[in-house]
Structure 1
């Protein structure tokens, strides 16, 4: 297993500073993942100071068991669920939206991080630490999860997507796709993937995950269970109706104490801004930080006087009505990014939560809210990051002397330097010299025409510019013709760039994992799962 570490600076400053333990960022979190004593402190708090506001563990186990049976999870996952009945059991938890066929690679890496940390701390503590993946099925941004990208054999980035089945702005978990829609997406993926020894098995599993007119959330859960169930990963959809019943007491408190909840978020936002960071989420004084299902839509609520209303003011609820809803029909309520961390803490004995950079930044806004509800924010651990580089791409990087940093920061310059080094005719230099010599000899003649009249001088200036333009036209044509000698090289260099920075983004944020499973099977995934990898916030380049 060949792997290199690389400090890929996060585009979210607060997350970058938190990972590298700057004082101003550290003050926004109660613990730091890099301090062993903080892990012990968190364990002690969970053992001795658990909040009175917490879910019924027995009912939670029943819900988890039922859900994981429905998605066909592996026996190892049920062993982990059973362990949750023990009072000493802790969890490592993280989540993501339910992306098409697993979404982007970073989703796999988040699951790997959860499993790695749970295994590590189970061994260190000699007590059960359960890995749990929280599917954000309640999110309603369908366009964010309805597609995937793969790199085709023709070096095109293919986008494969499914269309919204209803047009209603409601949770992804409530949008069932017709079998024909799944068939179209599966066919497109099949055509995008090259024929390999692994393809038939891969496509059969994906078809199985999508059968029965599944929602994106259903198919995602089944696929994740196929990939990670044998490692004990427990899955749960945040929009699971039976889970909502358990969440009822927390929803009731979020409604009852809504003004104080919003005030606590504003206090944390002030702390974040005073530390020199911008707020990652929209926190307002009148924000309810809860959604309600009404009229077939998932609607964000805000307070307006004595009422809670949606943005268009089509629906209006009193606090008493929402409290009654929380008790009698909690499936009508839904969390937003600010209340979901609190609900997670209510449900699980969370030792640590695994987050991406953007999530780390908005979790900083919840510190005071945790305290307000008698809770404490868990340890925030950054998910593992990888860039996969295939053997042929690695060879090409060596051949043309490209490092990972070259591709990241100076690809075009490095490519041009290579082309210039091949230019034995020194075309640019010679053309530039011709232009200079022509301009130096012709410009004085044109200037002297002013003694005749300004019209002739102006005509001469235009003539000079056109001649220079024609020389430059020939220069560009000659350069293009010269580059055709290196078409094969340029294609190889472009493959390097598209591998590492597709769409000018990190690979893990763009490409889906299926293309790599199609080419290499699942051995690379198993290596990442079974090889202990430090959770340290660094980026890793993994050579396949």
Structure 2
């Protein structure tokens, strides 16, 4: 796709904590709350990358670079490699070259819209670092989660409120899955798109990715490459024997010494002590590796002195498992706890870019990295955006709303709007204040005469306040009925922009916005999503 265009859009920025869609943990992290300081290395400010570069350079084995470049060269065989991507692969042999990484599942046709936002944030971060530190070279990387086995999370995408789904009984690592049967999905997708000229590009993209490649890994590499090759995006598949070999010394510590289990458990305890409101995203297991082979990806557990592969009849003694690790490193697949370590072991990486849920589990891992003497990367929240069409923007204006109002819970938004447009005052706050003043006098009177009456006075105050609340609600309900057309229009608009009462980026597929914006879509994101501007971005086309 052509990404060199300049696109004119209106931009509005809303602090993440004001959207109501981000956890306290992430909002505190963005505020650099002191309680979280022990759980990350350096906060992602442009000037902080200088020390991160020095630390990673001193702590990244030179020998890993050659293994990495050889593996990438092999992975790209048979794919069209852009000049900028090839330049990035070649540059990785140089000790002054570093990566910034995002990772994502192999969602069908990219899945939700934020797939694009993750990669755009990563590309733009590499560009800004290049400008700030011209002596170094920075490579944006997309790490494909090819070994994941949660097929039900990736086998669909949403278009026009409908689920386009790949029905398949799948097992094992999703990257190994054959693309057979995706021609039926293509037919459903094509029918939904219709025959407008702009839809032909999407059909062609789906066809070339999924009907001309034999497995999901290759299909996803083709698709991401087609969307971002011009930007030099490097696509890494960790399901690779040579790369896994570099991980195996760490895998042995995990499997035989349970290092991450003990260390991460202590970090989780520290996080929960820092705030009861912090949600723990993942819990470590005693062994954080799966056994991966022939459509199988099952956990390894220690059982009766043997190492057992769950849901199979496979058992290994310690000696047998060590031999298997040495001879077949590709058969050992890290789980969500061990995969971040794998990434940092094989890449000269400075920063991981992820969503709120991802950063939440990365914040559990720093002590684990330190124990294994692997540099912990900086953690950056990816950009988030709400894309509004011209037609939707006109509706917002016509309803005399501000875009930030649309982030409110629907019932609160409706109540606010009814209060704003009603020709009677439905806010009983003054009456409640007056009531409180009257009861204050009664409290004083009770204290001077008989303190045993204080409870009765309090009960009466509560009762009368509840009565006012009930009257306010009844009046509001009556006004909603009277102003029903306003409520319907408002609800429809919010449901368009926040499908399923969720962020647009978590629901819509990029194809839906491509039908609106065409070739402007990715250039607009590259132009307006700035990694160091920590706000939620609203873009009106």
TM over 0.5: yes
Matched, 1:171 2:180: no
Q: CA 1:308–1:202 in structure 2 vs 1: closer, same or farther (change >3 Å)?
A: same
More moved, 413-422 vs 209-218? 413-422
What SS does structure 2 have at the residue aligned with 1:521?
helix
Structure 2 distance, partners of 1:354, 1:141, is: 22
State whether residues 289 and 335 of structure 1, in contact with CA within 8 Å, keep that contact through their aligned partners in structure 2: yes
What SS does structure 1 have at the residue aligned with 2:316?
strand
Q: CA 1:224–1:244 in structure 2 vs 1: closer, same or farther (change >3 Å)?
A: same
Following superposition, the deviation at residue 410 of structure 1 comes to: 4.6
**1:384-433 deviations in Å (ceiling 9; x for gaps):** 11111111001001101222232221534544676798899x9x9xxxxx
Following superposition, the deviation at residue 297 of structure 1 comes to: 1.8
Following superposition, the deviation at residue 335 of structure 1 comes to: 0.9
State whether residues 177 and 216 of structure 2, in contact with CA within 8 Å, keep that contact through their aligned partners in structure 1: yes
Q: CA 1:392–1:312 in structure 2 vs 1: closer, same or farther (change >3 Å)?
A: same
Matched, 1:186 2:194: no
**Could you tell me which of 154, 159, 162 is aligned with 1:158?**
162
What SS does structure 2 have at the residue aligned with 1:44?
helix
Q: CA 1:529–1:68 in structure 2 vs 1: closer, same or farther (change >3 Å)?
A: farther
Q: TM-score, normalised by structure 2?
A: 0.81
Structure 2 distance, partners of 1:78, 1:132, is: 13
Measured on the aligned residues, the alpha-carbon RMSD in Å equals: 2.7
State whether residues 393 and 495 of structure 1, in contact with CA within 8 Å, keep that contact through their aligned partners in structure 2: no
Matched, 1:27 2:38: yes
Structure 2 distance, partners of 1:542, 1:378, is: 30
Matched, 1:523 2:520: yes
- List gaps (5 residues or longer) in structure 2: 1-8, 427-476
Q: CA 1:318–1:71 in structure 2 vs 1: closer, same or farther (change >3 Å)?
A: farther
Q: CA 1:67–1:499 in structure 2 vs 1: closer, same or farther (change >3 Å)?
A: farther
State whether residues 354 and 381 of structure 2, in contact with CA within 8 Å, keep that contact through their aligned partners in structure 1: yes
- List gaps (5 residues or longer) in structure 1: 429-475
Q: TM-score, normalised by structure 1?
A: 0.81
Aligned position for 1:212: 212
Please list, as runs of the form range in 1=range in 2, the aligned pairs for 1:390-405 lying within 5 A after superposition: 390-405=389-404
**1:460-508 deviations in Å (ceiling 9; x for gaps):** xxxxxxxxxxxxxxxx99998995xx4xx66653442123211121111
State whether residues 19 and 536 of structure 1, in contact with CA within 8 Å, keep that contact through their aligned partners in structure 2: no
Structure 2 distance, partners of 1:267, 1:144, is: 30
Following superposition, the deviation at residue 102 of structure 1 comes to: 1.0
Q: CA 1:416–1:124 in structure 2 vs 1: closer, same or farther (change >3 Å)?
A: closer
Structure 1 distance, partners of 2:26, 2:529, is: 23
Matched, 1:537 2:534: yes
State whether residues 44 and 380 of structure 2, in contact with CA within 8 Å, keep that contact through their aligned partners in structure 1: yes
Structure 2 distance, partners of 1:34, 1:106, is: 22
Matched residue pairs, number?
A: 474
**Could you tell me which of 248, 253, 256 is aligned with 2:250?**
253
Structure 2 distance, partners of 1:364, 1:144, is: 24
What SS does structure 2 have at the residue aligned with 1:31?
coil
**1:359-389 deviations in Å (ceiling 9; x for gaps):** 1111122112211221121111111111111
Please list, as runs of the form range in 1=range in 2, the aligned pairs for 1:100-139 lying within 5 A after superposition: 100-126=108-134, 127-139=136-148
State whether residues 55 and 247 of structure 1, in contact with CA within 8 Å, keep that contact through their aligned partners in structure 2: no
Aligned position for 2:82: 74
Aligned position for 2:53: 43
Structure 2 distance, partners of 1:374, 1:423, is: 64
Q: CA 1:61–1:216 in structure 2 vs 1: closer, same or farther (change >3 Å)?
A: same
Q: CA 1:35–1:88 in structure 2 vs 1: closer, same or farther (change >3 Å)?
A: closer
State whether residues 179 and 210 of structure 2, in contact with CA within 8 Å, keep that contact through their aligned partners in structure 1: no
Please list, as runs of the form range in 1=range in 2, the aligned pairs for 1:141-156 lying within 5 A after superposition: 141-150=150-159, 152=160
State whether residues 292 and 331 of structure 2, in contact with CA within 8 Å, keep that contact through their aligned partners in structure 1: yes
Aligned position for 1:508: 505
Structure 2 distance, partners of 1:214, 1:123, is: 40
Following superposition, the deviation at residue 516 of structure 1 comes to: 1.1
Aligned position for 1:379: 378
Aligned position for 2:451: none
More moved, 346-355 vs 529-538? 529-538
State whether residues 383 and 529 of structure 2, in contact with CA within 8 Å, keep that contact through their aligned partners in structure 1: no
State whether residues 198 and 519 of structure 1, in contact with CA within 8 Å, keep that contact through their aligned partners in structure 2: no
Structure 2 distance, partners of 1:39, 1:478, is: 56
Aligned position for 1:300: 299
State whether residues 269 and 283 of structure 1, in contact with CA within 8 Å, keep that contact through their aligned partners in structure 2: no
**1:42-100 deviations in Å (ceiling 9; x for gaps):** 111123x2155x76312211221232343434232111111111111011111100111
What SS does structure 2 have at the residue aligned with 1:291?
strand
What SS does structure 2 have at the residue aligned with 1:229?
helix
State whether residues 146 and 237 of structure 2, in contact with CA within 8 Å, keep that contact through their aligned partners in structure 1: yes
State whether residues 92 and 118 of structure 1, in contact with CA within 8 Å, keep that contact through their aligned partners in structure 2: yes
Structure 1 distance, partners of 2:533, 2:175, is: 33
Please list, as runs of the form range in 1=range in 2, the aligned pairs for 1:333-352 lying within 5 A after superposition: 333-352=332-351
**1:18-37 deviations in Å (ceiling 9; x for gaps):** 1221011122111111362x
What SS does structure 1 have at the residue aligned with 2:320?
helix
Structure 1 distance, partners of 2:214, 2:396, is: 42
